[in-house]
């Protein structure tokens, strides 16, 4: 095996440019090589390494949005372990994920791949994913750095965003994720304040010098324009291999535009990356069998499903006679492996699932006897003219409960495009309205990866279940929620606004080249806290079949941290899980601060009538903001509220602490 020292300058240059679509260069077996694969919700790995498509089927997991909706770091860890096991099966060394970009705009085509609108939640989920995956033997590549929050003209547009906002919102998930020591990180396509992300030295320096990132910076696929400039900025590996840019790099090196020190440093990083990936795998065996992994997709989905509305019709009583409509109830009608984009977002994250698509009609018939079914609308809106919505209305009228399965899919939500609208297709809205008009017990189950505008029909229906993009065993998970075998416990990891018009990005300055992040820090609930009228379902919200009360709050300070303890009581008649969220609110800030910010959360299972004590520790740094004047994180003296909420708009408890002379102390 060659070591870095034995490589010629030309070989080192070659090492910086990747091999084919998915590998590092190995000089015909003289070096070990790393095989990379998309993406975080299962493996999308083309069988031919020179191709971008033609993937091998693999287990499809619920989308990252659903994973974040679990608010359960144990579920996140197991999810990542399962995907790591899939990598071991497939012979892949590195997963190109997780994506921790902030969901700034509900229309972004890749929101289903991302974790949250909140940097703390996205960061913690990303960190746990990385740590568990790498422990299980697969490397990670946290992406896309940075400020890549829209797919519109993504290779050209610049995200204009100031330093404080970068630090507090857009860098933050990467900062937290770096605590897990990812072996690599992917830059994005866009420009950041005019600088190409592949040449974004300022950001790369922050990663390395401040966030302790010691891995390899890899380009997004074809995101490099000038390989020499990107190398000088600190980008270690360009992917995939591009002969033209490699040759230019060689010419530039010969012309003295890339120093030997820089070349050695970057080539060393690529070799170190390969060595680290191989080391991660040493002695690793699959932790979960393939069957266990498939079964786990159901558990993850069950915990991510969010019950958005319920007038009491759910869980469905045993004796109900059901009508079911909507194409999405029976995606099994399609050849699943020919249609990888069914019930999934599109682009590099899609996975060709391993097992057939589910059939909600058949699953529910096991519990409720014969069901009347009509497709009523198509998945894409195009074939709606061939459908017979009238029959769905007739069915609905004659039954106790009417279930409409609606949603989007890869034709609507995909890498490379933003959605045009937050609304469902006209035929879907029409079906919901017409069936609800004849049957008030109408339940809507939604399959999508990002918020849907429900304003046209929400108040006409009895219940709404958010199923997201559900993965392999999604049907079983949804059936368990509808029947009540599982008590829903997912909570939204992003705000669902009423309409797109009410979002902070609806009126932003944007042209084909420039997106101005004019809302500043006020992303997601940080914005809606000042505009609550625009919210349909707030960040952190989700209903249960039971009820929880909060009490007995105690905050204990010790100069550098505050420990918060409180009680969560299950007041209902079934066991359930509750996620309590901990926000901080500066009472009289000396600079502009969001109304409140998430700094901790805890999810706990409580049996009927029982109670549990929850504990969250906040370090002093949780109270900090990025001071533009001092160019560093700053904690101002003053009084702060610590708010414990069942959602961002349902605060149940409040404690006050003071910071005086930089020390945390109780406020009596
Ligand atoms: C995407 C990345 C992905 C890569 C490789 C790019 O288009 O932005 O997220 O990992 O392709 O497929």
Give the separation between CA 560 and CA 221, rounded to whole angstroms: 43
Please report the atom of ligand 1 found closest to the CA of residue 99.
9
- Cα→Cα distances 74→40, 41, 483, 607, Å: 16, 16, 25, 19
Domain end marker among 219, 250, 280: 280
The DSSP 8-state label assigned to residue 388 in this structure reads: -
72 and 209 assigned to the same domain: yes
DSSP string computed for 44-57: B-BSSTT-SS-BPP
> Is 80 exceeded by the pLDDT of residue 383?
no
Q: Would residue 471 count as lying in a domain?
A: yes
Output the pLDDT for position 336.
62
Give the number of the atom of ligand 1 that is nearest the alpha carbon of residue 144: 9
SS3 content of the chain, % helix, strand, coil (to 5): 30, 25, 45
**Domain check: are 447 and 588 in the same one?**
no
**Ligand 1 contact, 348 CB (< 6 A):** yes
Cβ neighbors of 334 (< 8 A, separation 6 or more) are: 342, 357
Domain for residue 508, yes or no? no
Pocket test for ligand 1, best of 22, 108, 221 (most atoms within 8 A of CB): 221
Q: Does the annotation count 220 as an active-site position? A: yes
Tell whether 249 and 328 lie within a shared domain. no
pLDDT mean across residues, the chain: 96
Q: Which residues pair with 639 in a beta bridge?
A: 658
Statement to judge: residues 409 and 556 lie in one domain: no
Shortest-distance Cα residue to atom 12 of ligand 1 = 348
CB of 140 within 6 A of ligand 1: the answer is no
Give me the CATH number covering residue 74.
3.20.20.300
What end-to-end distance do the CA atoms of the chain give, in Å?
67
For the residues 79-102, what does the mean pLDDT come to? 97
Task: Tell how far the Cα of 320 is from the centroid of ligand 1, in angstroms.
Answer: 46
Of 472, 493, 514, the residue that ends a domain is 493
Q: Is the pLDDT of residue 1 over 60?
A: no
One domain for residues 463 and 584: no
For the segment 658-662, the average pLDDT, to the nearest whole number, is 97
pLDDT recorded at residue 651: 98
Is residue 394 scored above 90 in pLDDT? yes
**Residue 274 and residue 354 in one domain:** no
Q: Which of 350, 353, 346 is nearest to 331 (CA)?
A: 353
477: in domain? yes
CATH code (residue 553): 2.60.40.10
Is 220 touching ligand 1 by the criterion CB < 6 Å?
yes
Least confident segment among 127-136, 181-190, 235-244, 326-335: 326-335
Flag whether 1 is in a domain.
no
Q: Is residue 540 part of a domain?
A: no
Find the catalytic residue in 85, 86, 220, 384.
Answer: 220
Domain tally, the chain: 3
* Residues 407 and 366 reside in one and the same domain: yes
User: 140-166, pLDDT tens digit by residue?
Assistant: 999 999 999 999 999 999 999 999 999
405 and 257 share one domain: no
Looking at 248, 280, 312, the residue that finishes a domain is: 280
Give the pLDDT mean for 361-376: 97
Q: What is the pLDDT of residues 607-626, one digit of tens each?
A: 999 999 999 999 999 999 99
Whether residue 88 is found in the same domain as residue 118: yes
Q: Is residue 190 part of a domain?
A: yes
Q: Range of 62's domain?
A: 12-280
Instruction: Say whether both 250 and 309 belong to one domain.
Output: no
658 lies in a domain?
yes
444 belongs to a structural domain: yes
CATH number, position 345:
3.40.50.1700
If one counts every other C-beta atom within 10 angstroms of the C-beta of residue 544, the result is: 21
pLDDT band at 5 (very low <50, low <70, confident <90, very high): low
CA-closest residue to ligand 1 atom 8: 220
**pLDDT at position 395:** 98
- 307 and 264, same structural domain? no
How confident is the model over 248-277, as pLDDT tens digits? 999 999 999 999 999 999 999 999 999 999
Claim to verify: residue 271 and residue 307 sit in the same structural domain: no
């Amino acid at each position: 095996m060659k070591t870095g020292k034995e490589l010629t300058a030309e070989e080192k240059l070659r090492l910086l440019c990747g091999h084919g679509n998915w590998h590092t260069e190995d000089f015909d077996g003289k070096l070990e090589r790393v095989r990379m694969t998309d993406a975080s919700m299962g493996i999308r790995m083309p069988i031919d390494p020179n191709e971008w498509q033609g993937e091998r089927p693999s287990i499809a997991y619920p989308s990252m949005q659903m994973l974040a909706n679990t608010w359960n770091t144990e579920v996140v860890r197991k999810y990542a372990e399962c995907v790591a096991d899939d990598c071991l099966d497939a012979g892949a060394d590195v997963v190109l994920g997780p994506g921790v970009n902030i969901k700034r705009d509900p229309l972004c085509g890749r929101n289903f791949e991302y974790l949250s609108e909140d940097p703390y939640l996205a960061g913690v989920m990303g960190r746990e994913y990385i740590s568990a995956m790498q422990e299980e033997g697969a490397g990670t590549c946290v992406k896309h750095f940075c400020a890549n929050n829209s797919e519109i003209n993504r290779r050209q547009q610049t995200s204009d965003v100031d330093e404080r906002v970068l630090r507090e919102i857009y860098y933050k998930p990467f900062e937290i994720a770096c605590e897990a020591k990812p072996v690599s990180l992917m830059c994005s396509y866009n420009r950041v304040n005019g600088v190409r992300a592949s040449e974004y030295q300022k950001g790369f320096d922050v990663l390395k010098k401040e966030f302790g990132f010691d891995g390899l910076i890899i380009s997004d696929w074809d995101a490099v324009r000038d390989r020499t400039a990107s190398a000088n900025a600190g980008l270690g590996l360009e992917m995939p291999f591009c002969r033209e840019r490699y040759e230019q790099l060689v010419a530039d090196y010969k012309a003295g535009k890339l120093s030997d020190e820089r070349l050695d440093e970057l080539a060393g990083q690529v070799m170190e990356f390969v060595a680290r990936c191989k080391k991660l795998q040493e002695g690793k065996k699959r932790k979960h069998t393939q069957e266990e992994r498939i079964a786990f997709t159901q558990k993850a989905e069950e915990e991510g499903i969010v019950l958005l509305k319920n007038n009491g019709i759910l869980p469905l009583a045993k004796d109900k006679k059901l009508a079911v409509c909507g194409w999405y109830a029976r995606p099994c009608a399609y050849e699943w492996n020919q249609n990888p984009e069914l019930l999934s977002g599109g682009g590099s994250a899609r996975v060709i699932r391993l097992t057939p698509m589910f059939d909600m009609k058949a699953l529910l018939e096991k519990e409720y006897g014969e069901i009347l079914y009509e497709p009523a609308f198509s998945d894409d809106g195009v074939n709606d003219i061939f459908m017979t919505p009238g029959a769905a209305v007739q069915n609905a009228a004659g039954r106790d409960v009417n279930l409409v399965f609606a949603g989007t899919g890869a034709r609507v939500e995909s890498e490379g495009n933003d959605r045009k609208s937050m609304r469902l297709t006209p035929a879907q809205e029409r079906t919901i309205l017409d069936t609800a008009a004849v049957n008030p017990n109408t339940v809507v189950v939604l399959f999508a990866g990002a918020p849907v505008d429900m304003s046209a029909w929400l108040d006409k229906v009895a219940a709404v279940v958010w199923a997201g993009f559900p993965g392999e065993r999604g049907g079983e998970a949804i059936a368990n929620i509808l029947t009540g075998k599982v008590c829903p416990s997912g909570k939204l990891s992003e705000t669902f606004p009423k309409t797109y018009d009410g979002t902070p990005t609806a009126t932003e300055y944007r042209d084909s080249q420039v997106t101005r992040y004019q809302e500043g820090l006020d992303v997601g609930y940080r914005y809606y806290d000042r505009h609550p009228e625009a919210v349909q379902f707030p960040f952190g919200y989700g209903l249960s079949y039971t009820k929880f009360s909060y009490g007995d709050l105690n905050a204990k300070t010790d100069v550098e941290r505050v420990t918060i303890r409180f009680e969560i009581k299950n007041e209902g008649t079934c066991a359930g899980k509750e996620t309590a969220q901990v926000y901080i609110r500066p009472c009289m800030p000396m600079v502009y601060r969001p109304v409140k910010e998430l700094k901790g959360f805890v999810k706990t299972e409580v049996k009927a009538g029982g109670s549990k004590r929850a504990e969250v520790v906040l370090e002093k740094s949780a109270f900090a903001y990025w001071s533009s004047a001092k160019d560093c994180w700053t904690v101002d003296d003053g009084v702060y509220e610590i708010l414990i909420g069942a959602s961002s708009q349902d605060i149940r408890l409040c404690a006050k602490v003071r910071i005086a002379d930089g020390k945390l102390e109780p406020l009596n």
